[in-house]
Structure 1
């Protein structure tokens, strides 16, 4: 039988009768305090909450249409599970952003096994990426789909890390401009070159592919240089979409981020970020789809809960509720910071405050007072 310990001193207790509600009382052998042991169902309630969140079950199918479930688990929607700080360097990391609404994006970073970090922002930009990457040790290679501002953030936070642009996303960008059934010969050939990116396995094939891209431009140079006069009299390129598709590939070649996976590393470097797209983003979208109808704030917290429970060592339920910030704690911090800022603004600035030296002199015979 598990022995009961005193909540005040931690010493073992003995039975000490029952109270008026017929619950067992206990007395400590050391401090002689008497108490009734309460059953803490927080762990069980949190487990039920997470099991529901990560499953396809609906509250309507629960007993009482889920009213009892919502009463017990409503407190968990106030918690913000925050990512841990990763200090151990990794070989390969995958990053991507998933949009929950028009101006709500969650940036996620993971390795081959666990989620390492996440950050909520309005859009993908360099400042948001810097906030995510600053809490994670610099890896050898990071694979990205080319999100806005990511390259700038990597150069600032992880200057020695090699960047690999996801080859499949590079192909999709070309396909967006050329379509799969281009009406021009140049568009069809460029689409074919983009598809060959998915099959390149060594440096020689990469060099040959780059030469083929240059040959394509020389072959269709006259066609690509055609201009069209707009109604206002300005000239613009007739085949602007083809030029944008070609430029997207040329920029990746010049930045040396298209064939990073072909370098001689001590590990096998993938060319795509399918790990984060299929194993994380797809499951998060499925979770939000199963529980559609949640507010945007709860959708954000649902993603936070999913990411945290898929980290390497998530805390126990009791420690999570004790350590993680809540809506109330964040609001108190904000109010404290805001009041402090208002107080600092009310203090007289330079030139307005009293100077102590004007009222007190260290020299008993100040010369500047002589006539």
Structure 2
């Protein structure tokens, strides 16, 4: 490691004794300024922080019983790891959302090996899904669990991609309405049909299942149409939960998303997945385990922990030093927000004081007011 350069004039510095603390002092021969070499350990500290976050270690297990670790790693909680832009198309992409409370959800997209993108929003809707998908090249097949707004976002952002609805979630939705021990014969038969979805492996079996479902609907149509009156006198369906279960399966059949994995046009991609177990078990389960191991984090830090995990499992994460230079922080985002919205915020807050002066009357480019008498 060579001698440092002068921070004043940029010339090479030479050793000039030591300080009281024993550190080597350097002096510039040109301008005479002196300084000591400052060793930047932020990249090393970031690697230590990530090693702790992605492991099951407790803070008390770190050097200094956690105090030194918290002091050195506190600045890294301000960083927001941003997802990369995926320009190489994938054959199959899995999408799902992990909820944190009632007002925060992180939408995640992944392939068989890596996390491809993530997006933070308040709820699953088409705008959030579109924001996630816009940075990822359109795949041939996308597998989802039926999140709200996803079909609309898919038609808008990836119009040529084929959609496979996770058959396990389709079965689970029916089970939620019928329970595993239905009390009616119609419910028992529908539960058996939904459970049979999990074992379909050929197109012929899929066609037979669809025929059996239509036959069940016709056979129990009068039963499902029965109505009853409530205590308030309203007329409602007597078997509303069974009707909802039937409707959930009929909607998937009509949309053509239940047996995409058996589509003959996609034989070149076979075998295609019928469920999104890859993202449920390979990503979401590990994220929940990480949050459970580091329980006690605030909602903001839990979100950033998810972002860090996703980024470190993306296709090509940057080295620690590059991350510190490239990724935005709370401070940089706040500065951009204040710079772009300063005028709007002032104009929005001043009128609440009453008869206030317009902002532009107090902020002019001329050095003096030219409209005074």
User: How far did residue 14 of structure 1 move?
Assistant: 9.4
Give the C-alpha shift of residue 71 in structure 1. 0.4
Q: Report the alpha carbon displacement of residue 15 of structure 1 after superposing the two structures with TM.
A: 6.9
Q: Where does the alignment leave 5 or more consecutive residues of structure 1 unmatched?
A: 349-371
Q: 1:70, 1:342 → 2: CA distance?
A: 35
Q: Relative to 1, partners in 2 of residues 1:254 and 1:45: Cα closer, same or farther, differing over 3 Å?
A: same
Aligned match of 1:360:
none
C-alpha contact (below 8 Å) 2:87/2:137 kept by paired residues = yes
Identify the residue that residue 222 of structure 2 maps to in structure 1. Answer: 222
Task: Tell me which residue corresponds to 1:333.
Answer: 336
The CA deviation string for residues 49-96 of structure 1, in whole angstroms up to 9 with x for no partner, is 111111222123445431111100000000000101111111110000
Quick one: distance in 1 between partners of 2:339 and 2:16? 48
Which one of 274, 280, 284 corresponds to residue 281 of structure 1? Answer: 284
Return the offset for 1:25.
5.8
Contact 1:6 / 1:28 at 8 angstroms: preserved in 2? no
Q: Kindly indicate whether the alpha-carbon contact (under 8 Å) linking 1:15 and 1:24 is maintained by their aligned counterparts in 2.
A: no
Q: Using the TM superposition, give the Cα deviation of residue 271 of structure 1 relative to its aligned residue in structure 2, in angstroms.
A: 0.5
Which among 244, 267, 270 is matched to residue 269 of structure 2? 267
Q: How many pairs were matched up?
A: 345
Label 1:258 to 1:17 Cα distance change in 2 as closer, same or farther (>3 A).
same
Q: Could you give the per-residue CA deviations for residues 147-204 of structure 1, whole angstroms, max 9, x where no partner exists?
A: 0000000101111111110010000000000100001111111111001111111211
Give the RMSD, CA atoms, in angstroms.
Answer: 2.6
Matched residue SS, 2:124? coil
Q: CA deviation at 1:280?
A: 0.4
Report Cα offsets for 1:252-309 as digits up to 9, x if no partner.
Answer: 0101111111113221210100010001000000010011111100000010110011
Instruction: State the SS of the aligned residue for 1:101.
Output: coil
Matched, 1:317 2:315: no
Q: Is the contact between residue 177 and residue 241 of structure 1 (CA under 8 Å) also seen in structure 2?
A: yes
Partners of 1:138 and 1:328 lie apart in 2 by: 34
* Partner of residue 236, structure 1: 236
Match of 2:302 among 299, 302, 311: 299
Contact 1:96 1:108 survives alignment (8 Å): yes
**TM-score under structure 1 normalisation?**
0.86
Q: Give 2:51's aligned residue.
A: 51
1:113 and 1:235 mapped to 2: Cα distance?
52
Provide the C-alpha distance between the structure 1 equivalents of 2:99 and 2:126, rounded to a whole number of angstroms: 16
Separation in structure 2 between the aligned mates of residue 144 and residue 324 of structure 1, nearest angstrom: 29
**Equivalent position SS for 1:98:** strand
After TM superposition, the structure 1 = structure 2 runs for residues 1-371 of structure 1, keeping only pairs within 5 Å, are: 3-4=1-2, 16=15, 18-20=17-19, 21-24=21-24, 36-264=36-264, 265=266, 266-268=268-270, 269-341=272-344
> Partner of 1:171: helix, strand, or coil?
helix
Give, in whole Å, the separation in 2 of the partners of 1:8 and 1:282.
Answer: 52
Q: TM-score, normalised by structure 2?
A: 0.85
Do the aligned residues in 1 keep the contact of 2:110 with 2:116 (CA within 8 Å)? Answer: yes
Unaligned stretches of 5+ residues in structure 2:
349-357, 361-373
* 1:85 partner SS: coil
Change (3 A) 1:343 1:297: closer
Inter-CA distance 15–336: structure 2 relative to 1 (3 Å threshold) = closer
Q: Which moved more, 1:34-43 or 1:96-105?
A: 34-43
**SS, match of residue 96 in structure 1:** strand
* Counterpart-to-counterpart distance in 2, 1:342 and 1:105: 28
Are residues 180 and 106 of structure 1, via their aligned partners in 2, closer, same or farther at CA, if it must alter by over 3 Å? same
- Aligned equivalents of 2:139 and 2:3: distance in 1? 46
1:118 aligned counterpart, secondary structure: strand
